[in-house]
Structure 1
């Protein structure tokens, strides 16, 4: 066997290796671009939810008790939002990522409610929309302002409208409508 016969496999290997590596790198780049390396979003927590106490003078009222009893255990969504245990009176919560959906009943009249406030009607309930005040809000709070008690529903902004629609149905069934009280 001659020396040139021994060099041929080494030359072929020297040429083929960079080509194979280039193809592998290109394949990985295409896979990454298609979202192949994107980590799955964290699963929402479903255990008991500790909520900060807030002033809610009517949280223990019969109206709030009736509303909480009428709420569904889960809210529609993709995936469904599973109810979370809460011990605070007048509060209900559902698992959602990145933050839970929280309903509070019996709150005082919101300061943001003025004669010029824009209200949105969803399934017969008038809602005042309040964002978290950041340039790109991550939370939005809807306050039902046309019932005997004020009800606030806080959801992640990307949560969609299903929670508001479902809660509106429960409010319509349990809390009588009244004129919006503005200053």
Structure 2
């Protein structure tokens, strides 16, 4: 063997190995990107006082809502979990909030009967509580509102869709323990 033949052998190995290695790296990056590896983390939830717009909630100051609010947990499960969030003054009666991202979780108690509740409404039962689900009507809503419709007062729970079902399950357990069940009132 000549000296030039000995020098070409490593060059050939490198010439073959580099494209194969490059293809493996590109394939690995593609798999990582597909699994959400390059998706930025959601922003940290805001934890300061939350300003809540007033809504018609004639029973918000009643005993039923006071009992429910006193029994609510400080934190809610979810992905990620939500911690209690103070309300900005003037705080609306019958309201509780938890920090979540991209928007907070907000519970309102003592609301008027929702207009969306009709004889043909689809209700979902979660841990013994019947909920009417209301979205903003877009193909991929970012918020969903659940309204408990089978209790002595109407309770609405608005959550980010990405947080999962943990909050509605936990709130259902609390509602089942604290608020009397009643037949669903449809028009």
Under TM normalisation by the shorter chain, which class is it? 0.7 to 0.9
Look up the match of 2:74: 73
Partner of 1:34, secondary structure, is helix
**CA separation of 1:159 and 1:79: change in aligned 2, threshold 3 A:** closer
Give ranges in structure 2 of 5+ residues lacking alignment: 1-17
In structure 2, distance between residues paired with 1:136 and 1:77: 19
Pair 1:126 & 2:124 matched: no
Query: Residues 38 and 158 of structure 1: is their aligned pair in 2 closer, same or farther, counting only changes over 3 Å?
Result: closer
Deviations 1:67-126 (A, max 9, x none): 000000000123211110122210111111111111000000000111111111111101
Tell me the distance in 2 between the aligned counterparts of 1:28 and 1:53: 53
Q: Would you say how many aligned residue pairs link Structure 1 and Structure 2?
A: 166
Q: Which shifted more, 153-162 or 30-39?
A: 30-39
CA apart distance, 1:38 = 3.8
In the alignment, what sits opposite 1:48?
A: 49
Runs of 4+ in 1 over 4 A off after TM superposition: 26-33
- How much has 1:156 moved relative to structure 2? 1.1
Q: Does 2:152 correspond to 1:109?
A: no
- How much does 1:145 deviate? 0.4
Q: Contact 2:79–2:163 (CA<8 Å) still a contact in 1?
A: no
**Correspondence for 2:5:** none
> 1:31 touches 1:37 (CA, 8 Å); kept in 2?
no
Equivalent-residue separation in structure 2 for 1:79 and 1:137 (angstroms) = 18
State whether structure 2 residue 174 is matched by structure 1 residue 170.
yes
Compare 168-177 and 29-38 and name the one that shifted more: 29-38
Unaligned runs of 5+ in 1: 1-18
Distance 2:41 2:117 in 1: 39
1:135-146 mapped onto 2 (5 Å cutoff)? 135-146=139-150
* TM-score in terms of structure 2 length: 0.79
Given the alignment of the two structures, is residue 63 of structure 1 paired with residue 67 of structure 2, yes or no? no
TM-score, normalised to structure 1's length?
0.81
